[in-house]
Homo-oligomer: A and B are copies of this chain.
């Protein structure tokens, strides 16, 4: 009802627009470079027309945006109803898509907009298209900014249906405004302990797996395209680089639906960490991979042949951009950590939160300004912020920042998904080719399989805590595609190949979100993956067999142990208030520096075993357990204290035991987008 009204409003606005705008008549061009035009008489009438036009355009924009706001509102209300009734088959993102689809159908078929006279076509045979164009309209100068190139076929569409074009957002909006908060939130809420425990496997899936998937899909699609050309089904160019590009963008998994259900049903933490970690990192890999493929530019005229030099250049670019973005993100995170450590900003939570927000945002801008990838930088910034800065924040700012990014993530995500639904009908250049679509679905399936199964086999050779086959099937099943795939494929829809990719990607996203997302609970029970792992139950069970826990120490990968040592002994003490004082871990020659860098709190905690890492993991209650000769008590704030236990070596020993302890606490509440039910004063107790 409300939607109908707003659609009607837009229609009315457009009609008025048509009346206001005068048809362009005589056209003639001259260069008025640095001329000094004489002061002219302002015709009052003309001014009014211009003003009214601007006003109408503004109204129209407001109405368009309003459609999306109302869509999101509707989504929220419906999803509440679903949650209220514990209906798990449809996630909010799936629902947002459905509503988007409905509004798209209405805009496309119900609202009929007359041909618009406000678009004037002019052709000047200039060599390049300048970014800013000054147009001298009967003596007055108007400034025009370049919006983009329009393919010859679109010219008619532009004039035909201004309405549909109006609800079409600038594709860069997704990449530069909506995606960063989503990615930052993913990094910021990464379960750090479990992430680091499974770091090797996650990196393998994310890097090796994504590259495998990209090339498998690319090759399969190339075969498919060749076949299509043979059958005469292809109406435009489709090169091998296009196929690889398709492989790269469709390899970015986004199992937001699955993870929400995992969280709700309290599924195994390791499976959760593997899936979440992989999906977060492979987004970054896919972004950089796709931009490297686009940058593949062999010399000479024939730009689509294979050339070793160009490929090496692309590969170098991949490494350069990825490491550059990574370093920038980590660097900003470290700067923020240092600022929050060495100032008493925590006394003013608003300033603290604002600083945190601004610094995190500046990572994105800095990376983009330097020519790196902002989204990737923001991801690693988020991880660094969560690992270090978060510990320096005041408890209130910890809540505030978590809640802020949670909200931004929620809004951005649902906006993107509802826009996806809308765009299926409002996008003007869809190319749905049945053969390509079938080929794509097959390739996506096989690409995922070629990622998960062989890698899991290889990883299991090295892992003590094997990735069981039902976990593998679940990971295979949970390869949903989402916001990242969409944002990457809508960015450039200029060529025939890109348009076909975009349309196909939309279908892939719809299918995976609805079918795979909706079938998660069925799949879980089908694979006999234990759900509802209760924290207390697991806890008491673990007391029974101490031997099993002992073994976890050896189980930890060397990469994890190496990293953990370094992080605990040097990085944590430098960047946060916790950890052992640097004076005990650094060689004696560095003691003056160490004294300067170590915070007073660290000296106080000297003989304590404190690890804030578990902040995000243990918040449910006070647990104390005895392990070997160290008595450990864990309070609600995640600060551990142990009697006995000497310096470094023993600490690590004890802390790896915590690793266990947390492994055991499988069912403990995970920090997830949807969850904020922990009492908000948990942090108050810790000073």
Interface residues, chain A, CB within 8 Å of chain B?
A: 6, 9, 13, 21-40, 44, 48-50, 53-55, 57-59, 62-63, 65-66, 69-70, 72-73, 76-77, 79-80, 83-84, 118-138, 140-152, 154-156, 158-159, 162, 172, 176, 297, 301, 303, 339, 343-345, 347-351, 353-355, 357-359, 361-362, 364-366, 368-371, 374, 396, 399-400, 403-404, 406-407, 410-411, 673-674, 676-677, 679-681, 684
Contacts and interface: CB of A to CB of B under 8 A. Distances in A.
A350 B672 CA distance: 12
Contacts of A400: 403, 407
Nearest to A29: B29
Contact of A365 (B50, B62, B353, B362): B62
A353 B26 contact: no
Contacts of A403: 353, 400, 403-404
Nearest to A83: B348
A30 B123 contact: yes
A365 B65 contact: yes
Contact of A369 (B9, B49, B118): B9
Integer count of this chain's copies in the complex? 2
B132 A72 contact: no
Given A32-B155, A128-B137, A349-B676, 15 more contacts: A24-B128, A36-B156, A58-B368, A62-B368, A73-B355, A76-B358, A80-B343, A80-B351, A123-B136, A124-B135, A125-B136, A144-B145, A145-B147, A404-B407, A681-B684
Given A76-B358, A136-B124, A369-B59, A130 B119 contact: yes
A121 B136 contact: yes
A357 B407 contact: yes
Contacts of A410: 350, 354
A149 B155 contact: no
B137 A142 contact: no
11 contacts: A22-B127, A23-B127, A63-B369, A84-B347, A120-B130, A127-B137, A129-B140, A141-B150, A143-B158, A144-B145, A354-B410
Contacts of A32: 121, 123, 155
A140 to B, nearest CB: 6
Contacts of A370: 9
A76 B172 CA distance: 30
B69 A123 contact: no
Contacts of A118: 130-132
Nearest to A126: B24
